[in-house]
Amino acid sequence: MQATHLRVRFGETDLAGHVNNAVYLSYLEEARLQFLVEVLHVPDVPFIVASAHLNFLRQVYFRDAVRIETGVSRMGRSSFDMTHRLYRESSNELALTGVVTMVAFDYAAQKSTPIPEEWRRILETHWTEAPIR
């Protein structure tokens, strides 16, 4: 799995002092984009999000450093699942798991397209188990 490191900013927290649940989608987006650009060596990401499922396990707070580990847990013809595990770095506690389904997308034709074989081979080298939902 590939790791992305972020620090929680004040504006990402809610009145209870922990990261707002909607912010986690942005954290995972950052990790996905970094993963896809670095692993596939593409300047643009020709994928769209089809679904996202998050499991909130522990709270994360302002100023916490987090590590998001990202890998691939399912491969289809035109879609694949990216699995994320978000840890509080200070304690190495697993705080969130998520699975996001990505679809290869032809923006000109506005429809899904098969994942190129070269990309498929590269993505499969980053295989990980999906979290239990």
Summarised one tens digit per residue, pLDDT across range 36-93 is 999 998 878 889 999 999 999 999 999 999 999 999 999 999 999 999 999 999 999 9
Q: Which domains does the chain have, with CATH numbers?
A: 2-124 (3.10.129.10)
The backbone torsions φ and ψ at residue 96, rounded to the nearest 5 degrees and listed phi first, read -160, 145
d(CA 94, CA 107): 36
Which strand (E) or helix (H) includes residue 118?
helix 117-124
CB-CB contact of 125 with 103 (8 Å): no
Summarised one tens digit per residue, pLDDT across range 5-35 is 999 999 999 999 999 999 999 999 999 999 9
